Structure 1
C-alpha cells in the first residue's frame, strides 16, 4: 500500500480548513503588533531547522533519517496549532496568521534547506540524494497553496457555509492525521521499532531546543504571555502530513523511510505540547 494516496486527501483537507480560518481582520490585528509575527516566523523558519541540524549531526543519525528530521523541521506549522493555542489561552489570531504565512513562505524555503541538507549528507557519506526542486515547489503549491486559497475564497463567498464546514473539518482533521500515523506505523513497524529510541530522543531534543529558544526570544522582545504561549506552540507543532507527502511522493524523494521521523515527531510533539498545556493550567 502506498501511503501517499492517504496522505494527499488528509493534507488537502488540513490546508482547505486553514484557508477557511483565514480572516482579514485577524491579519490586521496582528499587523498592529509585528514583533510577535517576526519572533514566531524566526522561530519556525530559523530556530527549528537550526535545532534539527544540530541534533541530527550530534546524534549521528543515518542519512535517510537526518534528511527526514530536516524535512519536518522546515515544513510549516500544523493547523492543529490553532486549537492548541486556544486551549493555552494564547493569541489565536496570531496562531492562524503564523500558520498561514509559514505555509506560504516555506513553499520557497524548503527547497534550499533540503538542498543544503543533501549536500551535507553527500559530503560526509557515500549516499547520493536527488532533489527535484521544480517538482518539489510544484507539489507544494498544489497541495498547500491552492487548497488554502480555495478555503479562503469559500469563506469570502459563502461565509456561513464555510463556518459550518470548518466546524466539521476541525473535528475530523486530527483523527485523520492520527489514522495516517497508525497506517504508516503498520507499514514500517520494523523500521520504526528499531529506531524509536534514537528518533524519539532526536525529535524530542529538537522540539525542546527550538521551543525553548523561541520562548527566550519572545521574552527578550517583551511579548505578552498569550503571544509567548502561541509562539511556543507554533514552533513545536509542524505539518507532519506535508513532511510525509514530500518524503513519500513519487515526484520528490519517493522514500517512505524518510517520512519515519515525521511520524515519530507527530507522536512526540503531541505528548510534549499536551504536557505544556497541563503545565500552564
Structure 2
C-alpha cells in the first residue's frame, strides 16, 4: 500500500478530531474515579489490555488466518476501547462513569503497549517482515500526537471554556461519526478487489472475537462480584474497539492496506452486536 494523502494526512487528522471530541467529554475526575471502584476498573483494563489480545491470538490459530490478516487482527486487539463505547454503555443502561474511566485509561496505556504488541505480531506471523516493524519511540510519539494530545486539548478546552465545549461536543460527535464512516469506506475500497475473500476469511474470526470478548467481559464481572451494570460496561469496553486507530496504524504507520481489513470488518460487526447489547441491557439492567 503506497503512501497517499489519505494515509499520510486524512487518517491521522480524522482520528485526531475524533479524539479531540472525546476529550471534550472528559474531566480530571474521570481519571480519579478509578480510586472509587478499583476492582471494576482493574478488571475492565485486564479484559481490554491483556485478555483481548490473548483471545485474538488464540483465534488466529484456530481460524488459521493468513499472516497479514493475523497481524491486522492483533493491531485491532492492541487498540483501546472506542470512543462510542461510552454512548453504547449509556444506551445499554450500564455504568457510564465507569465506561468513561476505562476508555480514558485504556487510551493512555495502549500508547505504550501498541508498538510492542504489533512488533511481536509481525515477528511471529511474518518472520521476514522486519521492514514492516514499527519504530518503538516513533510509534509512541505518533500515537501520542494523534490520540492523547487531542484528548488533552479537548479536556483543556472543556475546562477553560465549558460553555463553548458543551456547544462543540454535539458537533464533534457528528463529525466523528462521519469521519469514522469515511475511514471505513477508504479502507474497504483500497482492497475492493479482494474484499469478498478477505471478508470470508476475516469475518468469522472477527465476529467470534467480538462475541467472545463481550461474553468474557460480562461474565468475568459477574464472577468477581460486580453488578450487572458494571459487568455490562466491562463487556462493552472490551468488545467495542477503536477501529479507526487500528486502520490508521496499519495504513499510515505500517503502510499495509491488507492489515486494515480486520479493523474495518470488526468495526462493522461490533455495531451490530452493540445493538444487541443495548437491547439486552435495557431488558436486564433496569432503570
**Would you call these one fold, judging by a TM-score over 0.5?**
yes
Is residue 200 of structure 1 aligned with residue 228 of structure 2? no
Match of 1:241 in 2: 244
> What is the CA distance between 1:212 and its match in structure 2?
1.4
Q: Which SS does the other structure have where 1:90 is aligned?
A: coil
2:24–2:169 Cα contact (<8 Å) kept? yes
Q: TM-score, normalised by structure 1?
A: 0.93
Is residue 166 of structure 1 aligned with residue 169 of structure 2? yes
Match of 2:138 in 1: 135
Q: What CA distance in whole angstroms lies between the structure 2 residues aligned with 1:264 and 1:179?
A: 14
Give 1:1-281 correspondences, 5 Å limit. Answer: 2-4=5-7, 5-123=9-127, 127-128=129-130, 129-249=132-252, 252-281=253-282
The 10-residue stretch of structure 1 (219-228 or 42-51) with the greater mean CA deviation from structure 2 = 219-228
Q: What CA distance in whole angstroms lies between the structure 2 residues aligned with 1:244 and 1:26?
A: 27
2:89–2:236 Cα contact (<8 Å) kept? yes
The 10-residue stretch of structure 1 (87-96 or 184-193) with the greater mean CA deviation from structure 2 = 184-193
> What root-mean-square deviation, in Å, do the aligned CA atoms of Structure 1 and Structure 2 show?
1.6
Q: What CA distance in whole angstroms lies between the structure 2 residues aligned with 1:61 and 1:241?
A: 21
Q: Which SS does the other structure have where 1:3 is aligned?
A: helix
Q: Which SS does the other structure have where 2:226 is aligned?
A: coil
2:52–2:213 Cα contact (<8 Å) kept? yes
> What is the CA distance between 1:93 and its match in structure 2?
1.2
The 10-residue stretch of structure 1 (56-65 or 174-183) with the greater mean CA deviation from structure 2 = 174-183
1:3–1:248 Cα contact (<8 Å) kept? no
Q: What CA distance in whole angstroms lies between the structure 2 residues aligned with 1:142 and 1:155?
A: 19
Q: What CA distance in whole angstroms lies between the structure 1 residues aligned with 2:156 and 2:133?
A: 36
1:18–1:100 Cα contact (<8 Å) kept? no
Q: Report runs of 4+ in structure 1 exceeding 6 Å deviation.
A: none
> What is the CA distance between 1:64 and its match in structure 2?
0.7
Q: What CA distance in whole angstroms lies between the structure 1 residues aligned with 2:74 and 2:51?
A: 12
- Uncovered stretches (5+) of structure 2, i.e. residues with no partner: 283-287
- Uncovered stretches (5+) of structure 1, i.e. residues with no partner: none
How many aligned residue pairs are there?
Answer: 277
> What is the CA distance between 1:91 and its match in structure 2?
1.2
> What is the CA distance between 1:17 and its match in structure 2?
1.3
Q: What CA distance in whole angstroms lies between the structure 2 residues aligned with 1:116 and 1:12?
A: 26
> What is the CA distance between 1:264 and its match in structure 2?
0.5
